[in-house]
Structure 1
Amino acid sequence: MSDRKPYRHRFPLSVIRYALWLYHRFPLSQRDVQELLHERGIQVSHETLRQWNIKFAPLLTEDLRQREPRRGSRWHLDEMCVVIGGIKHWLWRAVDEYGAVLDIHLQQHRDTDAAKSFFIRLLGEYDVPEVIHTDKLWSYGAAIRGIPVLHTVEHVQVVSSARCNNLVEQSHRSTRQQERSQVGFKRRRRTQEFLALHARVTNLDHYSRTTVPAVIRRRNQSTAQLRWREAMQQAA
C-alpha cells in the first residue's frame, strides 16, 4: 500500500494512522501523543492532532463498523453518568456476549424515551437479538414493550454486580480511563465521536486480549491491524 499524503496534509498517511491509533487505543492525551511522535522525530503540534481527529474520526468509525464481523445475538445494556462541560449526560452502551461493543450513545436523559431511542439505534444496525440483559432500570422494560419487534425477545433483568452483566460493566472502565486522561470531556458532539471511534478501535483488539492460543492471537492482531490500515486508507 502506498504511503501517500492526504490532500492538503503535510504528513503521510502512515503518520496520521499511527497518531490516531495511539490516541484512541490507549488512555493518552493529545499532548502525550505529541511527545511520542517527537521521540520518533515527527514534529507535530497537538492542534494538528486535534484537527486530524475532527476530520477522520467519523469516517473511521463508520468504515470500521462496516468491517466488523457478525456480532452475537445476546445483548448486554447499561448506562453510565458522564459530565460534559459541567452538564450531566448518560452514556448508553450495548455489548454482545463476547464483550464486543455494539454501539454507544450519549443522551441527556435516563428515561423510557432515551432507552427507546437507543434500542431503535441498535436495531438499525443489527438483527433482533435473542436475549437482552439489562439492570433493573424500569425504562428498559417500558422501551422494550413499546417496540413491537422486541416483544418476543427474552428480557433478563440483573443487578449491576451480577456476573452475567459484568461484560458491559467492564466495558465502562476504558471510558473512565479516557475521561481522566483528557481531564474531563468538554463538548457533547466531540465526545460522542471520540468514544464511538474508541469503541471500534477497542473492538479491533478485543479477541487478541482473550485467552486464546498464541497462533490465533497473532492472527487476530494481524487482522486488526489490516482492518485499521484499510479503514484509514478509505477515510483519507
Structure 2
Amino acid sequence: MSVIGYALWLYHRFPLSQRDVQELLHERGIHVSHETLRQWNIKFAPLLTEELRHREPRRGSRWHLDEVHVVVGGMKHWLWRAVDEQGAVLDVLLQEHRDTEAAKTFFTRLLDEYDVPEAIHTDKLWSYGAAIRELSVLHAVEHVQVVSSARCNNLVEQSHRPTRQQERKQVGFKRRRRTQEFLALHARTSNLHRHTRTTVPASQRRANQTSATRDWHEALRRAA
C-alpha cells in the first residue's frame, strides 16, 4: 500500500504523467507497469477524494466561482470551480455546457456539501445570476460580479493553473469520467498542500508538510 500511496501522491501532487511516475518508481527499484498505475487511479482516486474531503476543516463563507474550457476526448467541456476566500477548492465539476442549467447543477452540488454562503463572487457570465434567481435558497446571498482580471477573482484564477499544467503534461484529457475523478482528487491534494508553499518559517513549512503527508496516508489507509 505504501507503493500505491507514493505513486498516487506523485501523480496528483505534481504535473507528472503516468509515464513519468513509472520512471520515478523505476529509479527507486520499483517496477510497475503503466496499466497497473492506471488501474490504481481508477480504483483509489474516487475513494481518496471522499476521504480527503471529509478530513478537510470547515471552509469559508465567501465563494469565488469561475469556469474554464477543457478539451476532453477532442470535445470542448467546461470545468466549473469554486474556492473559498482562503483559496481552498470547494469543488470542481466538468460539464458540457456553460449555461443556466449547468450553473444550477454546480450550485446545487455545492449546497449539498456546504452551508449557504454569505457572498458569491463570479465573473459577468449571465448564467450565474439566472441560476441564483432560480434557487430560492440563494436569494438573500450577496452576488458580486467582477471582471475576470479583478484582484478578488485571482483566487479562483490561480486555482485553475495546476489544471492547465496537468492538461499540457498529459497532452490533453481523454475520457470525461476519468478526467472528473482526476481533477477532483487533484483539487483535494492541492488543498492538503496549500500551506506548504506559503512564506512561513521553514520549521512551520516542514510541520505543514508532515501534517499533509500524514493526512494523505491516513486517507489512503481508510480508502483501502
Report the Cα offset of residue 218 of structure 1.
Answer: 2.4
| TM-score (normalizing by structure 1) | 0.93
Q: Does 1:186 align with 2:145?
A: no
Displacement after TM superposition at 1:38 (Å):
0.4
The aligned counterpart of 1:93 is 81
**Structure-2 residue corresponding to 1:74:** 62
From 14, 28, 32, the equivalent of 2:20 is: 32
- Specify the code of the residue in structure 1 equivalent to 2:14: F
What's the CA shift for 1:65? 0.3
Following the alignment from structure 2 to structure 1, what is the Cα–Cα distance between the partners of residues 87 and 198? 10
- Inter-partner Cα distance in structure 1 for 2:31 and 2:22: 8
In the aligned structure 1, how far is the partner of 2:200 from the partner of 2:19?
35
Identical pairs, percent: 81
- Specify which of 46, 50, 61 is matched with residue 62 of structure 1: 50
Structure-2 residue corresponding to 1:217: 205
Deviations 1:75-128 (A, max 9, x none): 000000011111110000000111110000000000000001000000000111
| 1:167-178 equivalences in 2 (<5 Å) | 167-178=155-166
From 216, 219, 223, give the equivalent of 1:228: 216
CA distance in structure 1 between the partners assigned to 2:199 and 2:134 by the alignment: 40
TM-score normalised by L of structure 2? 0.98
**Structure 1 residues without counterparts, runs of 5 or longer:** 1-12
Residue 180 of structure 2: SS of its match in structure 1?
helix
- Alpha carbon RMSD of aligned pairs, Å? 0.8
Aligned with residue 45 of structure 1, among 33, 53, 56 = 33
2:72 paired residue number: 84
- SS of the residue corresponding to residue 161 of structure 1 reads coil
1:133 partner letter:
H
Choose which of 90, 93, 108 in structure 1 pairs with 2:96: 108
Residue 211 of structure 2 corresponds to residue 197 of structure 1: no
Choose from 123, 131, 137 the match for 2:125. Answer: 137
Counterparts of 2:134 and 2:221 in 1: how far apart (Å)? 41
Aligned partners of 1:187 and 1:98: how far apart in 2? 31
Counterpart of 1:119 in structure 2 is: 107
The amino acid of 2:197's aligned partner reads R
> How far apart in 2 are the matches of 1:128 and 1:60?
26
| Deviation (angstroms), 1:214 | 3.2
Amino acid at match of 2:44: F
Deviation by residue 1:14-47 (Cα, 9 ceiling, x = unmatched): 1000000000011101010000000000011111
Letter in 1 for 2:98: R
